Amino acid sequence: MNDVEPIRLEQVSAGYGRRMVLEGLDLRLEQGTITAIVGPNGSGKSTVIRAMSRLLAARSGVVFLDGRDIRNFGSRDIARLVSVLPQSPSSPPGLTVRELVELGRFPHTGLFGRHGAEGKLAVESALTLTGLSGFAERPLDELSGGERQRAWIALALAQGASTLLLDEPTTFLDVRHQFEVLDLVASLCASGDMTVVLVLHDLLHAANYADRVVVVDSGRIVADGAPSAVLNVELMRTVFGVAAKIFTNPESGRMVCLPIGPDRS
Amino acid sequence: MTSTRTFVALMVLAGIASLALFVLHLGLGTVWIPPDRVIEVLLDGLTESTDRTIIWDLRMPRAILGLLVGGMLGLSGALLQVVMRNRLAEPGLTGVSTGGILAAVLFLGGVWGLPQPGRLLPFVVLVGALAGGILVLLVSSKRGGIDPLRLILTAVIVNAILGSLTAIVMLRSNYALGNILSWLIGSLHGRVWDDVWLALPWAAVAIPAGLLAARAANVLQIDDESGRALGLPLQPARVALFGLAGVLAAGAVTVSGAIPFVGLMAPNAARAVAGADARRVLPLAAMIGCLLLLAADLVAQSFSIKPPIPSSAYRVGLPVGAVMAILGAPLLIFLIRRSTR
């Protein structure tokens, strides 16, 4: 049934200057699923997202967007299909939530266009979905970290893209707000139209929320599959260098990966 | 949305205030013409009278230039603050003021040996101004891109160099020093219709273009990665907005010299009262610029000083640039203290 493939990487290598970060990556996203990309610091997780959205051009290999070579797209065409939320986004002091979310319409209206009825609707529904309708006129810098993160997700939603790439959306949030943000992402995917990629540090979250976990190490994919198939003691030792215990959560039936200390074997 | 309503109210308020100042400005001078008489003359364009001659031939150009130059500098500053990601940025940082003044000084100082500056001067200033802006842009671009921080640093440095050259040329020739000083400080004295025609085309093109750039400016205000993810090519956008700011400032410098502060104050005032959205900051900054410059020029016109030259029979009005700096600074400090924590 997955005849549309939102994004496919084929033998993609990418990097900065002389330093190659990704080497020959193959990865195909399934529509309507949540994919978590995990891996140690500096493994190239963020670079995968940047390559998928052409924020970083692939040095070799091809990125396919909607089945077509991403190099044939204009920047705004890409932005209509893929939303990216970077790791530490920033907005000018005083900008309100609504003003930020309206920026999401930029790829549709361009430099001189105006928001049509469709744009207004997209902004309103993004605010509603993220539970921010009551905060719309508040400046972003007066909100809590969790609310702010939701505002940035609302911007990505207002973009109207069907693929959402989130780079560590839970960093800097307390546990409750981490769940809040991830629940929001999961609810977006529930309809089956949205395809989401999450770069995550927390393997507990990856196991809890993702349909699929892709483990990246030194610019290569070292494991790829359902959380229960991928996360194991051996992987935790070789990739992350930690000893871990793996359980099954009796409540959800999902697996729990509990790192217990540095690997001393 | 209350914010939109506030914005409209602010724009209308600033517009009415500007209009009132404009009428006052037309009335003020050696012969005082009361506002109701000014309005009467403005509405009835046909009847010949002394008042009509005074208003239309003598005072109108200066008042119009007050509006134009104020609006151009206000908008220019607002655009630059976006491009440079810095609320201290002002039109002078484009290099056009120092470039224009250096050209003026070289020209007036007779370095090029032209006997009569005459009406050529504004064109010389314009060429110098545009050259100054292009110089800043060239020096700060690297692999076709401009980084906000690098741009601001190189702008300060290029300005310092151009300013030093100006000082050296001025020392070489004290000829026409007074004239040069009025360019350095900025003044609208003795401006005529020709000056209006000189500034108008720049204003007519660059002000609408600058206002239309609001959407791109908004995207430039968020972090680079998020901005690019929205599909805006950042470097071309920055270069374009810098170019617009430079053209606006060049148009202003050409007719008025380097009037300080308007371009710093207007955008900061606009942000303090209307938030961060460029769709509001840009028009409001232009409007506040008009208001401020007209107000400062009213004051400048009201006070005159007698130069300490024995032979001089004339009193000269204060340069609007000096008034702007003296009166504007406290207002700006107040606004900034209010809007920052």
* Tens digit of pLDDT at every position of chain B (341 positions): 457 888 899 999 999 999 999 999 999 887 888 999 999 888 886 777 888 888 888 899 999 999 999 999 999 999 999 999 998 899 999 999 999 989 888 887 765 555 555 668 888 889 999 999 999 999 998 877 788 999 999 999 999 999 999 888 887 766 556 667 777 888 888 888 988 999 999 999 999 999 999 999 999 999 999 999 999 999 999 999 999 999 999 999 999 888 888 999 999 989 988 889 999 999 999 999 999 999 999 998 888 766 665 555 556 678 888 888 888 888 878 877 776 66
What is the distance between the alpha carbons of residues B191 and B300, in angstroms, rounded to a whole number?
A: 14
Let me know if residue A70 belongs to a domain. Answer: yes
CATH of span B2-304+314-339: 1.10.3470.10
pTM of the prediction?
Answer: 0.91
CB-CB neighbours of B180 under 10 Å: 22
Q: Are residues A168 and A258 in the same domain?
A: no
Let me know if residue A2 belongs to a domain. Answer: no
Q: Are residues A186 and A55 in the same domain?
A: yes
Let me know if residue A110 belongs to a domain. Answer: yes
What is the distance between the alpha carbons of residues A30 and A61, in angstroms, rounded to a whole number?
A: 20
CATH code of the domain covering residue A141: 3.40.50.300
Q: Are residues A199 and A247 in the same domain?
A: no
CA distance A180 to chain B (A): 22
Q: Residue A2 has what pLDDT?
A: 47
Let me know if residue A1 belongs to a domain. Answer: no
Single-letter amino acid, residue A170: T
CB contact, 8 Å: A208 with chain B?
no
Q: Are residues A69 and A146 in the same domain?
A: yes
Element (H, E) at A67: none
Facing A89 at nearest CB: one of B219, B226, B233: B226
Q: Please determine, for residue A189, whether its predicted confidence score (pLDDT) is greater than 80.
A: yes
Q: Are residues A81 and A122 in the same domain?
A: yes
Q: Are residues A48 and A111 in the same domain?
A: yes
Residues near B314 by Cβ (< 8 Å), separated by ≥ 6?
A: B306, B307
Q: Are residues A152 and A242 in the same domain?
A: no
Q: Residue B1 has what pLDDT?
A: 44
Domain count, chain A: 2
Identify the domain containing residue A260 by its residue range. 232-265
Instruction: Say how far residue A100 (Cα) sits from the centre of its chain.
Output: 19
Single-letter amino acid, residue B269: A
Integer CA distances (angstroms), B281 to A94, B65, B276, in order: 11, 22, 7
**Local confidence band at A118 (pLDDT 50, 70, 90 cut-offs):** confident
Q: Are residues A128 and A79 in the same domain?
A: yes
Q: Are residues A163 and A189 in the same domain?
A: yes
Q: Are residues A237 and A187 in the same domain?
A: no
Q: Do B229 and A88 touch (CB under 8 A)?
A: no
Q: Are residues A237 and A159 in the same domain?
A: no
- Residues of chain A in contact with residue B213, where contact means CB-CB under 8 angstroms, are 111
SS3 helix, strand, coil % of chain A, rounded to 5? 35, 30, 35
Let me know if residue A177 belongs to a domain. Answer: yes
CB contact, 8 Å: A106 with chain B?
yes
Facing B223 at nearest CB: one of A77, A89, A94: A89
Cβ–Cβ under 8 Å, residues A211 and A185: no
**Local confidence band at A1 (pLDDT 50, 70, 90 cut-offs):** very low
Length of chain A as a residue count: 265
Q: Residue B70 has what pLDDT?
A: 96
CB contact, 8 Å: B238 with chain A?
no
- Residues of chain B in contact with residue A91, where contact means CB-CB under 8 angstroms, are 221-223, 276
Q: Are residues A173 and A265 in the same domain?
A: no
CA distance B145 to chain A (A): 16
Cβ–Cβ under 8 Å, residues A31 and A2: yes
B1 → chain A, closest CA residue: A137
Let me know if residue A143 belongs to a domain. Answer: yes
Q: Do B218 and A159 touch (CB under 8 A)?
A: no
Dihedral Cα A155, A161, A163, A167, nearest 10 deg:
-20
Beta-bridge mates of residue A214: A37, A224
Let me know if residue A109 belongs to a domain. Answer: yes
Q: Residue B178 has what pLDDT?
A: 64
SS3 A11: strand
What is the distance between the alpha carbons of residues B113 and B275, in angstroms, rounded to a whole number?
A: 51
Angle between helices B320-339 and B262-274 (to 10 degrees): 30
CB contact, 8 Å: B219 with chain A?
yes
